[in-house]
Amino acid sequence: MPRKVQELSEQIDSNALPAHIAIIMDGNGRWARKRGLPRVAGHRAGINAVRQVVEGSAELGIPVLTLYAFSVEN
């Protein structure tokens, strides 16, 4: 575990953590457009964010994580 993550996790009261976290993922295309990047760059950035959330939730012991992603049709 990286040092900064370790320091932060030591400050968290594990008894106060939720049993379920739900995240609605949206805005990858807007994120990329604001930076003058192709839409796919936004989706790649989203993949990295999802990876961090999944790994961080596992490290903290969050038992349930729900991720909802909008489709291209939205």
Residue 13 confidence (pLDDT): 87
Domain parsing of the chain, residue ranges = 17-69
Residue 74 has pLDDT above 70, yes or no: no
* Three-state DSSP state, 68: strand
Neighbours of 45 (CB within 10 A): 15
Please tell me the pTM assigned to this model: 0.76
Which position among 13, 15, 48, 74 bears the catalytic label?
74
Tokens 């805005």, residue?
A: 27
Residue 37 confidence (pLDDT): 96
Residue 45 confidence (pLDDT): 94
Which position among 13, 15, 26, 48 bears the catalytic label?
26
The token pair at 27 is 């805005």
Q: Is 13 a catalytic residue?
A: no
pLDDT (tens digit per residue) in 4-63: 777 877 888 888 999 999 999 888 889 999 999 999 999 899 999 999 999 989 988 999
